[in-house]
A and B are shown apart, each in its own frame.
Chain A
Amino acid sequence: QSVLTQPPSVSAAPGQKVTISCSGSSSNIGNNYVSWYQQLPGKAPKLLIYDDNNRPSGIPDRFSGSKSGTSATLGITGLQTGDEADYYCGTWDSGLSDVVFGGGTKLTVL
């Protein structure tokens, strides 16, 4: 059971928009920055979003992050088949004294 809760799967059609939620508590998301990672099939995770809503260089602006209270959200617009991947949220949990990740969300682009 992950400390951060993500939906196991989401799906949408090419060109559409999808959001992936990440729910936590005041000991993690509520008081620490959230990052998001994309893991393409058979590949290592790749940083998509850091500090809640910042994109590293090279990440297209189709990807966005937001946070409200103890929940964070990853948004992807203009979906492409190449976006099919597992997506993970991560943050620091002050109570556990540990870096924690969500259980991951599998995105299917229909």
Chain B
Amino acid sequence: QVQLQESGPGLVKPSETLSLICTVSGYSITNGHFWGWIRQPPGKGLECIGTVYHSGNTHYSPSLKSRLTISVDTSKNQFSLKLRSVTAADTALYYCARFEGYSSSWNGDGYFDSWGQGSLVTVSS
């Protein structure tokens, strides 16, 4: 059974880069799924940040695209998130999740079927 675990600093200063890693266990990241990041500001709803395929193909949310890098390390069965120039508005619970789509080419049609427990990241000086 697939398990996902987020890791990274819980506190990031404004204007710096937020970095998180998601370690996948019980399932090979190269088995043909997209892998994604979703965030949830305190007391608010879900926002999809972006996804990555094991080949490195990515899809980024248009609202975050200019600050975002999502990459994959198949040798470690991990994928990562880097969000640059953060502000207080980026304070959120960050979840990694497996995306079950219908093609190896991203078309957005699918769903997140397994989630990590979440990692709280606070942006503050």
Chain A interface residues toward B at CB < 8 A: 2, 32-33, 35, 37, 43-47, 50-51, 56, 88, 90, 92-94, 96-104
In the bound complex, how far is the Cα of B48 from the Cα of A23, in angstroms? 18
Contact present for B108 and A50 (CB under 8 Å): no
Shortest distance between the CB of A24 and any CB in chain B (Å): 14
Q: CB < 8 Å: which of B100, B108, B112, B116 contacts A32?
A: B108
In the bound complex, how far is the Cα of B42 from the Cα of A85, in angstroms? 16
Tell me whether A44 and B95 are in contact in the complex, defined as CB-CB below 8 angstroms, given that A2-B45, A99-B48 are known contacts: yes
B36, B47, B111: most-surrounded residue (chain A CB, <10 A): B111
In the bound complex, how far is the Cα of B48 from the Cα of A51, in angstroms? 18
- In the assembled complex, which residues on chain B have CB atoms less than 8 Å from the CB atom of A101? 45-48
Q: How many A-B residue pairs have CB under 8 A?
A: 64
Contact present for A98 and B46 (CB under 8 Å): no
A-B complex: 5 closest residue pairs judged by Cβ atoms: A92-B108, A35-B111, A99-B48, A101-B46, A44-B115
Shortest distance between the CB of A21 and any CB in chain B (Å): 16
- In the assembled complex, which residues on chain A have CB atoms less than 8 Å from the CB atom of B47? 101
Chain B interface residues toward A at CB < 8 A: 36, 38, 45-48, 61-63, 95, 100, 107-118
- In the assembled complex, which residues on chain A have CB atoms less than 8 Å from the CB atom of B116? 44
Contact present for B113 and A45 (CB under 8 Å): no
B47, B63, B108: most-surrounded residue (chain A CB, <10 A): B108
Contact present for B115 and A45 (CB under 8 Å): yes
Contact present for B118 and A44 (CB under 8 Å): yes
- In the assembled complex, which residues on chain A have CB atoms less than 8 Å from the CB atom of B62? 96-98
In the bound complex, how far is the Cα of B118 from the Cα of A43, in angstroms? 8
In the bound complex, how far is the Cα of B38 from the Cα of A46, in angstroms? 13
- In the assembled complex, which residues on chain B have CB atoms less than 8 Å from the CB atom of A50? 100, 111, 113
In the bound complex, how far is the Cα of B40 from the Cα of A2, in angstroms? 13
In the bound complex, how far is the Cα of B125 from the Cα of A90, in angstroms? 34
Mind listing 17 A-B residue pairs with CB under 8 Å?
Answer: A2-B45, A35-B112, A44-B95, A44-B117, A45-B38, A45-B46, A45-B112, A47-B111, A56-B113, A88-B45, A88-B46, A90-B48, A93-B108, A98-B61, A98-B62, A99-B61, A99-B108
Shortest distance between the CB of A107 and any CB in chain B (Å): 15
Tell me whether A104 and B111 are in contact in the complex, defined as CB-CB below 8 angstroms, given that A44-B116, A97-B62, A98-B62 are known contacts: no
